[in-house]
Structure 1
């Protein structure tokens, strides 16, 4: 399950009937991805890729990569911030939940994009924790360019 939440407490989630939500540039957007139907502490959900488009269609262009191979896009001047998940409240197993924050942005091709919706898409996988430790993703900060 992929959810948008109003703040970093991850307690109040956006409902479809609330669409569209107005945000200003650089205001944080908070997302949560949760593995549904599994409460196995030996399974972890992993964010492989997340990207934004101007259309609901995940294949549409333009596209801006937010998360690449499990890491924040190193070309992003305002990269994704990953949030830790603790076992409290509605979270029984933190390995089944991933949270991240993206500063609101607009696609730079067209000044009219400031008034357009942005859609965020993610590809996720579930991984046995024993395997996850063998495939530990190492993320590094590299040279940044503009969106």
Structure 2
């Protein structure tokens, strides 16, 4: 018990805490482990399906807010398949003309029949050519 109350024990603990703080500051991480760089990093997505969209049957509130779908939609693809996009599905919409057939291209990550992530882009844009 006497060893725990000695000044040497408390000095050793203080030195360890100071060293941990110095290491965190040198590695660019704050005390909570957050990175000091607040710039958003692009995410890598796996695209399994690329198809022209022939028809979009969407609810009135269909859109994307902060990367999450609001509302729902059913997309009819050029090969006859129908893809249902449920609300709260992560996605992006960059297609201006949603009425003209084949003016949008669907890029999607599917899990079976369900959409995990999707992007609707213009069919004449650079994202559709790559």
Name which structure has the greater RCO, CA cutoff 8 Å, separation 6+.
Answer: 1
Higher normalized helix content (fraction of residues): 2
Q: TM-score range by the shorter chain?
A: under 0.3
- Larger Rg belongs to: 2
For normalisation by structure 2, the TM-score amounts to 0.23
